[in-house]
Structure 1
């Protein structure tokens, strides 16, 4: 068993690299789009807020596998041809944007109104107020929830194999079909996912401590 496992290490490494790369890029898109959606949800114009609210609720309720199927298998019917890698990144990004939008919306709403009024009195433009006062505070206030959502998306990335992307779950299935082993491949990727989650959790813990010390 051990020689066979050693021979499979390059496959696990390639799957891990794909999982990490797609997750990082997809989560990055989720955060950026989530911030934009959060601002749109706060808009006083209903023709902006209502469609965004519909999208957010759809993204929060639809399974990631469904989003991936629509992008990768349904996209060509509308002239949208995406590689599994790109479809995985875009799908994960659009899927995660909904929950992140709610997280950031709560963060923006938690900022005291007096701080915005003080910025206005100091002559700051709305853009300067957002970039220098609102956004940094919202990111700090939502850090625990953002770390939790990041962990969820990393774990959700396990379904990217449905679009033939060679991430960890796909690699485990390939190794299992070749070696007829079930426990070892899937136990190995479970441990790798656990390691990724631990790294993210530790990063979130130290980031929270850093901001707590900085803010004290």
Structure 2
């Protein structure tokens, strides 16, 4: 067996198209998951008790089951409840819901981590709950949660590989098709690993840069 680089070059257009789909689903799913997770965390933190209990069950269910099972049930089981989605829409919705469950717990931990004295000080100067959340809690939470958020976003990237099971035209499906057609599994998955590694390193570097910038503001403020 030999490593056929020419075959990889031949399939580069297909690989780049699949890479675009992967990045789009990853970024959109992560962004929507962060937003939805924040809404869930705020609802559980500041909403009535019954709302906290109502949201607890789905969050724990999503966090307690594999993403592979969730996306399979969403795509193939959705029509049984009137939810018929194409593969890309199902993939995006699945990533969003999956990410929101984890991001919501990160946001909740951030709320708990904010010292009560900071919130009381905001109330003393006349801030209402919305102002306290926007001007005190969110900036501090952003600095505290950034490393965990970056790690979760990296995990979201890796979970996109599972979307191939519902025929989303992303990287893993493109590489699998290459291997099936030409028996070039080593070549294809070596390229796949390199691409994911490059994306992960890029995300990590951006996270470190953002953390260093935010740390300067934190120390300056103190």
Q: Normalised by the size of structure 1, how large is the TM-score?
A: 0.95
Check if 1:35 corresponds to 2:41: no
In the aligned structure 2, how far is the partner of 1:95 from the partner of 1:190?
23
Q: Which runs of 5+ in 1 are unaligned?
A: none
- Cα contact 2:143–2:215 (8 A) shared by 1: no
In the aligned structure 2, how far is the partner of 1:58 from the partner of 1:139?
26
In the aligned structure 2, how far is the partner of 1:74 from the partner of 1:66?
11
In the aligned structure 1, how far is the partner of 2:51 from the partner of 2:81?
25
1:100 to 75, 89, 103: 103
Give, in angstroms, the shift of residue 122 of structure 1: 2.0
Q: Which runs of 5+ in 2 are unaligned?
A: none
> After superposition, where does 1:41-190 map in structure 2 within 5 Å?
41-43=44-46, 45-190=48-193
Give, in angstroms, the shift of residue 18 of structure 1: 0.7
Paired residues in the alignment total 216
Structure 1: 4+ residue segments shifted above 3 A: none
Give, in angstroms, the shift of residue 208 of structure 1: 1.0
The answer for the alignment partner of 1:194 in structure 2 is 197
- Cα contact 2:5–2:187 (8 A) shared by 1: no
Give, in angstroms, the shift of residue 157 of structure 1: 1.1
- Cα contact 1:151–1:200 (8 A) shared by 2: yes
- Cα contact 1:59–1:97 (8 A) shared by 2: no
2:7 to 4, 13, 26: 4
Check if 1:24 corresponds to 2:27: yes
Check if 1:206 corresponds to 2:206: no
